[in-house]
A and B are shown apart, each in its own frame.
Chain A
């Protein structure tokens, strides 16, 4: 037994003691097969999952290596049953292989007749298969590659995909590092993320908001040197991508197309919105052709945690193309993380937010929960309301507006976002703060104008609805006040904090206030929402509303 930094629990989690001198080595060693689950201040926890282990096999590690890593770094004995499980699970990978047969095209091959018989027996699987060539080989329908992989994974026999990728149309792209007016270089973690992705073929890169995911995308495009389709959440985001690509790569205006509700341009690099792809006309997806139109060499899914279900299905047909998923929070409220894994690919890179913060690449953030009391009348209304109305009632209490006003006043001179869910509340706040409001009905042009004003510092305070949850780059925003949200959504909370995380010119700490009505469902949802960030090491302070003025005085000093 060593005095290692790891403690391997019998419930298949691994604890990593951050302060241990060997913790960095140990983290790199286990990252190959264990999923980072939580990264609070002192003890990070990883989970050993079949997906992670198969991933490790795909990367060329064997069970003995995994077992040795655990034994070497573990402080206490490792549960033997877990070691046996690891060997057993890893042995399942690659017993089935997807291969290109010169005569029959895509085939599923096994070294064990029984395994092949077992999986072929399943109805869903057999529907994707063609004729049996010999006892160990069966033909696979060309378009079924993704779905088959997904089903085999579910059945516990993950197929090793040796059928390879199509090259796509070649289109040279290079990064414009160290050139131009503001020279820049790829950050070390971005470089590792791209290398991991490229070595693995396809997969997901998880980086905190503001840590430069777009640049990772750009670097992946440079590595690929092919035509690329980028799927993003909305038009604004598409334009931000375009601006960023122009800045970071050798690509020119004419090489980058936007494919959105407004414009339909098909260029070597095309940025399309999820929305336009999922638009139906007469019951069919009219723009889906886009995916197949061009011989794309690379597909990039921005905010992959939001990937809508139809795109999931389409992606299943795109298994022959390299896919890169980008996200800050691989937490799906719909629990479809497994599908992201199967269809886009495994997680190729993930770093604790606090680690990136420590390197100075994202702004440090101070999260504060301010508890307000409902007025007597509000309390009565709340107590007698239907369950469906309760959250709205407590989340929109007038007390929050009062506190928000005090906070905005206290942070004079800073760029402030006030974020909420309910339009009545946002209207009231906008009027109270004398600030512009951006909501779903605000035209794209107007949104762009207001965000630009905000970036330039001409508008110090913006009131925004959930339209600003994602992908809006507002580098100098340093204060966010969240008055209400989509119930207990962990990823919304994280994304909203993310709006503040671009490092500030003066190195200022970002402040994220979330206003919560005491002793109501609002408080319960808040606790749930904060879980993801708390597990990333963002410790919320809690403050009573009546303490806000005093705390603000302290802030000013």
Chain B
């Protein structure tokens, strides 16, 4: 089994390309950046990183790895497919033997003759995971998928309408929370009654509302205010963005979200699905971000998205059944299959609400998102989301209809004098004597209202409306206005610079790549081993060396801080490591002594014969 030291040395021996590939496959290992290869090896062998890496393995990879670690490893040559082993090595779940001649050869050049070693920490983690059960022999190919044909027009319609609804309702939600913050329970969650009330008001179902709420929190549109125990609107700037940019912010936030999905999919929640509470601190699972990525990617996989069939009808896309998606994911990531069958239905419902799928089939934006090509997603969206309009018509029954998405600034001003009626792609409002009096009370004047309406109304104002505005004004003589109404100052319209600035802080793929390059340069600059005491790898290395010498009964130099704060160096034979204490026999005297492990700063092998003590 490879030790940390072996791993560090082997990592140092890898080519730049291999290291960059490793950083891509296991991004947690360099976040935050590490100082040297020893530290990198320590990260990669840490239990959480190993578990995350194992969760990402597909059936054959996992099968090979399990076989290598099983006691009867010798009998499972069948699993030792060189390609699979190379993949595992790529992910640093196996180490390779470094060729004896240290010169120019890298492991990759050896091809099939490569010898791999297992890692102790991987073995431990494998033991903790769910057993592979009956599937010890991996299926040769992913399970065949059940697909429903979906007309492209239907898919595009569903996706576009989902995006429209998402943006409209989220904006309404944020605005509403801006006016009246959301009372939170002790775990920061939104109460059942709050959710119900909001859902009724927004005319959507509760599961949908919970998703929009979670998304608003994830994208930092609303934030928790500890002092008042309320959720408040945090980033009204989002409201000023153009709609494609709004969507992008939400979609990206979703992809990285570790929040439990809320689902109204018919087959869910699965009986064992975790009970999610909207906005509650507890409704989080760390691997959910990765799972969301995986669902999206698996939908884009050829076997689900574009099966090659002999007579494929034109203008047709495919919607995989839920079971097919779960089966595909289970084949790709068997260790997570239990969790997935509970969570995937919710994630699929989320995809639909985000417009990443439409009628169950991956949409154009969804395909771009799966490929992490956000600019392309944005471009696709740009062509489906109509431009905001700046006009409306007013009818004799005093209803105001904006035949499309009314520019937010105009809508905000209109809402000051008309009540919202109906929901959908068009804005419908109604003016009444009451609503006009409300506007007057909030400081509007006859002239300002008439001016605003004439500017934006495409048709002649009904005579009765002009009369009613005059009548309302007569009841509110100038100077009698209430200045305390925050609604009386509508926000000005969005401008492009704010929109762009708001997007800027998010790391783009370029930035990620630069970060990897910088990390690589840092590793190449530093010695494989830093100063053990300060180094991140220090404690792990110390423990590993102690365990090894306990196992072999060898003598080591141990440095430890004593009670007066001085570092003492003792030559000893470690005996056991229990309960945070090292029991060791001192060399020479044969006396046993205990050291608290947190006081141990370094463990070194005794000098070879003929060399000086350090």
Q: Could you list which residues of chain A lie within 8 angstroms of chain B, going by C-beta atoms? A: 1, 7-11, 13, 15, 17, 38, 40-43, 67, 71, 75-80, 83, 369, 527, 531, 534-535, 537-543
A-B interface pairs (CB < 8 A), number:
117
Among B159, B359, B384, B398, the one with the most A-chain Cβ atoms within 10 Å of its Cβ is B398
Complex alpha-carbon distance, A537 and B399, angstroms: 11
Complex alpha-carbon distance, A75 and B164, angstroms: 13
Complex alpha-carbon distance, A537 and B462, angstroms: 11
Given contacts A10-B203, A369-B464, contact A43 B422 (CB under 8 A): no
Given contacts A11-B422, A11-B424, contact A79 B393 (CB under 8 A): no
The answer to whether B396 touches A41, judged by C-beta atoms less than 8 angstroms apart, is: yes
Show 19 A/B contacts (Cβ-Cβ < 8 Å), sorted by A: A9-B422, A9-B428, A10-B424, A11-B424, A13-B422, A15-B403, A40-B397, A41-B395, A42-B459, A43-B401, A76-B386, A76-B426, A80-B359, A83-B158, A534-B397, A537-B396, A540-B464, A541-B463, A542-B467
Given contacts A40-B399, A42-B393, A80-B359, contact A542 B423 (CB under 8 A): no
Interface residues of B in 468-507 (CB under 8 A from A): 468
Known interface pairs A10-B203, A542-B464; 13 further A-B residue pairs with C-beta atoms within 8 A, sorted by A's residue number: A1-B386, A7-B424, A9-B423, A9-B424, A10-B425, A11-B424, A40-B396, A41-B396, A76-B161, A76-B426, A78-B161, A80-B162, A527-B432
The answer to whether B462 touches A539, judged by C-beta atoms less than 8 angstroms apart, is: yes
Given contacts A41-B396, A541-B464, contact A80 B158 (CB under 8 A): yes
Q: How distant is A548 from chain B, measured CB to nearest CB, in Å?
A: 14
Interface residues of B in 136-193 (CB under 8 A from A): 153-154, 156-162, 164-165
Among A7, A76, A369, A531, the one with the most B-chain Cβ atoms within 10 Å of its Cβ is A76
Given contacts A38-B397, A538-B396, contact A43 B403 (CB under 8 A): yes
Contact of B425 (CB < 8 Å), options: A8, A67, A80, A535 = A8
Complex alpha-carbon distance, A9 and B161, angstroms: 10
Question: B358 at the A/B interface (Cβ < 8 Å)?
Answer: yes
Contact of B403 (CB < 8 Å), options: A7, A41, A535, A537 = A7
Contact partners of B156 in chain A: CB under 8 A: 77
Complex alpha-carbon distance, A527 and B358, angstroms: 44
Q: Pick the 8 closest A-B CB pairs, nearest first.
A: A539-B396, A9-B424, A534-B397, A77-B161, A80-B158, A77-B160, A40-B395, A76-B425
Question: B33 at the A/B interface (Cβ < 8 Å)?
Answer: no
Given contacts A41-B395, A80-B161, A537-B396, contact A542 B459 (CB under 8 A): no
Contact partners of B159 in chain A: CB under 8 A: 77
Q: How distant is A306 from chain B, measured CB to nearest CB, in Å?
A: 24
Q: Could you list which residues of chain B lie within 8 angstroms of chain A, going by C-beta atoms? A: 153-154, 156-162, 164-165, 203, 352, 358-359, 384, 386, 393, 395-399, 401, 403-404, 422-426, 428, 432-433, 459, 462-464, 467-468
The answer to whether A42 touches B401, judged by C-beta atoms less than 8 angstroms apart, is: yes
Contact partners of B433 in chain A: CB under 8 A: 527
Contact partners of A7 in chain B: CB under 8 A: 403-404, 424-426
Complex alpha-carbon distance, A399 and B358, angstroms: 63
Chain B interface, >50% SS class:
mixed
The answer to whether A41 touches B459, judged by C-beta atoms less than 8 angstroms apart, is: yes
Given contacts A17-B403, A71-B157, contact A539 B464 (CB under 8 A): yes
Contact partners of A43 in chain B: CB under 8 A: 393, 395, 399, 401, 403
Chain A interface, >50% SS class:
mixed
Q: How distant is B118 from chain A, measured CB to nearest CB, in Å?
A: 50
The answer to whether A13 touches B424, judged by C-beta atoms less than 8 angstroms apart, is: yes
Contact of A534 (CB < 8 Å), options: B203, B396, B401, B425 = B396
Among A17, A41, A67, A535, the one with the most B-chain Cβ atoms within 10 Å of its Cβ is A41
| Nearest-CB residue, chain B, relative to A14 | B424
Contact partners of A369 in chain B: CB under 8 A: 464
Contact of B398 (CB < 8 Å), options: A75, A78, A534, A538 = A534
Complex alpha-carbon distance, A83 and B386, angstroms: 21
Contact of B426 (CB < 8 Å), options: A9, A537, A540 = A9
| Nearest-CB residue, chain A, relative to B360 | A80
Complex alpha-carbon distance, A76 and B163, angstroms: 12
Contact partners of A67 in chain B: CB under 8 A: 154
Given contacts A11-B203, A534-B396, contact A77 B157 (CB under 8 A): yes
Contact partners of B423 in chain A: CB under 8 A: 9-11
Complex alpha-carbon distance, A42 and B393, angstroms: 7
Among B423, B433, B464, B468, the one with the most A-chain Cβ atoms within 10 Å of its Cβ is B464
Complex alpha-carbon distance, A543 and B157, angstroms: 48
Q: How distant is B468 from chain A, measured CB to nearest CB, in Å?
A: 7
Complex alpha-carbon distance, A450 and B359, angstroms: 67
Given contacts A40-B396, A80-B158, contact A542 B401 (CB under 8 A): no
| Nearest-CB residue, chain B, relative to A10 | B424
Given contacts A71-B153, A80-B157, A527-B433, contact A542 B396 (CB under 8 A): no
Complex alpha-carbon distance, A13 and B425, angstroms: 11
Contact partners of A542 in chain B: CB under 8 A: 463-464, 467-468
Q: How distant is A353 from chain B, measured CB to nearest CB, in Å?
A: 12
Contact partners of B398 in chain A: CB under 8 A: 534
The answer to whether A9 touches B425, judged by C-beta atoms less than 8 angstroms apart, is: yes
| Nearest-CB residue, chain A, relative to B405 | A76
Contact partners of A537 in chain B: CB under 8 A: 395-396
The answer to whether B404 touches A76, judged by C-beta atoms less than 8 angstroms apart, is: yes
Among B154, B359, B403, B463, the one with the most A-chain Cβ atoms within 10 Å of its Cβ is B403
Contact partners of A41 in chain B: CB under 8 A: 393, 395-396, 459
| Nearest-CB residue, chain A, relative to B153 | A71
| Nearest-CB residue, chain B, relative to A79 | B161
| Nearest-CB residue, chain B, relative to A534 | B397
Complex alpha-carbon distance, A13 and B384, angstroms: 22
Contact partners of A42 in chain B: CB under 8 A: 393, 395, 401, 459
Contact partners of A534 in chain B: CB under 8 A: 395-398
Contact partners of B404 in chain A: CB under 8 A: 7, 75-76
Complex alpha-carbon distance, A540 and B459, angstroms: 16
